[in-house]
Amino acid sequence: MSPLKTSFPKGKMKIVILESISQSAVESFKKAGYTQIEQYPGALSGEELDEVLKDAKVVCVRSKTQLTEEVIQKAKKLVAIGCFCIGTNQVDLDAANKAGVCVFNAPFSNTRSVAELVIASAIMLIRRIPDKDKAAHAGEWDKDSTNAHEIRGKKLGVVGYGHIGSQVSILAEAMGLKVFYYDVENKLPLGNAEEVTDLKTLIEDCDLITLHVPGTNGTKNLFDKQVLSWFNKGQMLINMSRGNVVDIEALKTALEDGRIGGAAVDVFPEEPKNKAEKFSSPLQNISNVILTPHIGGSTEEAQWNIGLDVSAKLIKYIESGSSIGSHSIPELSLPKMEDTHRILHIHKNVSGVLSEINSKISKLDVNILGQYLSTNIDVGYVVLDIAKNDSLDTLKELRQIEHTIKVRILY
Ligand SMILES: NC(=O)c1ccc[n+]([C@@H]2O[C@H](COP(=O)([O-])OP(=O)(O)OC[C@H]3O[C@@H](n4cnc5c(N)ncnc54)[C@H](O)[C@@H]3O)[C@@H](O)[C@H]2O)c1
Ligand SMILES: O=C(O)[C@H](O)COP(=O)(O)O
């Protein structure tokens, strides 16, 4: 029998980094021994993306690069995807799962940055600063206090009381706002925040509404024409979640009608892929509207921490098989054992695969020292530790098992 194959050499593992991800990630990969790193400043798509992913083991993206089913299926060598942001809606998670590709994100490294910008935007809107700013730039000295208010004592409605929504809630209370929230899940109210179980009531009762839901099929056009019609007293809207959560044409109408008194919008249904592409939106040049180029999480602090967080998860997965934090294949972590070889087997979740793996190994007279299995509806993930010094062509044997998706020998 041929000797046991060892892990893929780190120096040959191509890591593709798109969208100007922080150098903290690049440094982490290099420090860990990964030298084949390809970096691109913006997002890629189409043939260009397929080409760079053809032989990539890992791809690192932010919110812009669309990793669709087609892209994932073509990237045959891909082992893991890192979303260096919170949102994972740019990745077809189901396709990644079925292809045995592990997807990680940074669930809270930019939470504080977004929350701070929400508070800043709330003050700017309620003081009507966008119009004052424009006027001052145009040479006009407008000191009129009409319709300019303090945020102290105002009611803030948070839609989506997760990491960001609850962080906003804490900062807002410190500024003297009264916080109400609406969430589809039962959430612990922080401080003096109060849950409102009906979205219409939340909108009608609050002065400012801020959106912090994820981009999913369920939240697409959540704020459609009908929901926006519940704004009828000049309430302000802040959207730092995802562009397609709000019907942008209906928002434009409500702003022009004055039913919505102002808006801070950081995310758009169509966003440029890079600096060179022009940005256009129906919300441009409307009074009391702040438009920002999807920078809620774009602070040096957040980007640096995201770089460290996601690169660490990717390195751990590549080197130990730990998929804790995965948004695709099942989560699993097996402590490292001395004097073992570790094999990862990802397969379709159909009955009999585990016994087939074990039968192959037992026929080869190899002692199994550790074995973890975790499954989701479509995929099973097995981490196997076998005694060192045994000699077999394990990889080949295990790849032959029906329903196998991916097999890797780590060490
Ligand atoms: N603008 C930016 O730069 C920026 C930065 C970070 C995150 N984001 C966006 O913000 C989103 C939220 O981030 P998070 O970390 O708070 O996520 P999270 O998962 O911690 O919280 C999301 C909350 O929304 C709730 N929710 C889901 N569907 C809902 C619905 N239909 N109605 C009401 N509540 C609903 C969930 O139950 C959860 O509590 C991210 O998914 C991302 O899209 C944007
Ligand atoms: O999901 C996120 O964390 C934000 O939308 C930030 O995305 P970005 O990294 O593309 O700025």
Domain with CATH 3.30.70.260 in the chain: 332-411
Can 271 be counted among the known catalytic residues?
Answer: yes
- At the fourth CATH level, the homologous superfamily of domain 332-411 is ACT domain (3.30.70.260)
Residue with tokens 């120096």: 11
> 361 CB less than 6 Å from ligand 1?
no
For the chain, what is the mean pLDDT? 95
Phi, psi (rounded to 5 degrees) for 238? -120, 125
| pLDDT interval class at 363 (50, 70, 90) | confident
Least confidently predicted of 81-85, 115-119, 137-141, 383-387 = 383-387
CA-closest residue to ligand 1 atom 21: 162
For strands 178-182 and 15-17, give the pairing.
unpaired
pLDDT value at 18 more than 70: yes
| pLDDT interval class at 387 (50, 70, 90) | confident
Tens digits of residue pLDDT in 279-312: 999 999 999 999 999 999 999 999 999 999 999 9
CATH number of 1-110+299-329: 3.40.50.720
| pLDDT interval class at 332 (50, 70, 90) | very high
Tens digits of residue pLDDT in 54-80: 999 999 999 999 999 999 999 999 999
Q: 111-291: what fold?
A: Rossmann fold (3.40.50)
Ligand 1 atom showing the smallest separation from residue 107 Cα: 15
Is residue 159 a contact partner of residue 231, using CB atoms and an 8 Å limit?
A: no
Where are the alpha helices (H) located in 223-352, listed in sequence order? 225-228, 248-257, 300-320
176 Rama class: left (phi>0) / alpha (psi -120 to 50) / beta:
left
pLDDT value at 2 more than 50: no
Tens digits of residue pLDDT in 236-271: 999 999 999 999 999 999 999 999 999 999 999 999
| Percent of residues, the chain, with pLDDT higher than 90 | 88
Q: How far is the CA of 267 from the centre of ligand 2 (A)?
A: 10
Mutate to test the pocket of ligand 1, among 117, 183, 198 (most ligand atoms within 8 A of CB): 183
| pLDDT interval class at 390 (50, 70, 90) | low
Q: CA separation (Å) from 5 to 48, 160, 344?
A: 33, 48, 13
| Catalytic residue, candidates 271, 319, 331, 397 | 271
CA-closest residue to ligand 1 atom 31: 219
pLDDT at 1: 42
Q: Region 22-30: what's the mean pLDDT? A: 98
Domain with CATH 3.40.50.720 in the chain: 1-110+299-329, 111-291
